Amino acid sequence: MAKRVLSIAADSALRISRQLILERAGFEVTSASGLEEASAICQQAAFVLFILGQTSSEDEQKQLARVLRNKCPGIPVLELHSHGTAYLAKADYSVETLDGPEALVLMVQRILEKAEKAAPASEKNRKDAQRA
């Protein structure tokens, strides 16, 4: 089963390219253009990760992180940022966009592996049963 990611970015070209990169890596990706769209989408499916794009303003990123945390607690937040920009304190993880698509995919894989290891045993057993 593909792991579902919600990717949020104001720039449509970046949203589309990020979605293609992550889908090629085996993730199921839903994209949103901003706060309102992400807020409406985040509870419609079982997402395993939220990705905040660097094209949103810092204020919108902070508000997005706050809304996503309130609506879907426990889901990790990954911030994408350009070299030299501030790390968003509300995000759990951060990756520089200049590191390329491979760095993004690797970071997403690491985050999800860590989350899976931290999942309670009963949840792991349920996931194993679903795979069988």
Helix (H, G, I), strand (E, B) or coil at 11: coil
**What own/partner pairs with CB < 8 Å and gap ≥ 24 does 116-124 have?**
none
Going by C-alpha positions, the residue among 59, 57, 53 that lies closest to residue 94 is 53
Overall pTM surpassing 0.85 (yes/no): no
Per-residue pLDDT tens digits for 8-21: 988 899 899 999 99
Does the pLDDT of residue 59 top 90, yes or no?
no
Is residue 57 helix, strand or coil?
Answer: coil
* Alpha-carbon Rg for the chain in angstroms: 14
Which pLDDT tens digit goes with each residue over 28-48? Answer: 999 999 888 988 898 788 899
SS3 84: coil
Q: Domains of the chain (ranges plus CATH)? A: 3-131 (3.40.50.2300)
Q: Is the pLDDT of residue 113 over 50?
A: yes
Q: How confident is the model at residue 121 (pLDDT cuts 50, 70, 90)?
A: low
Weakest-pLDDT range from 1-5, 19-23, 71-75, 83-87: 83-87
Residue 99 pLDDT grade (very low, low, confident, very high; cuts 50, 70, 90): confident
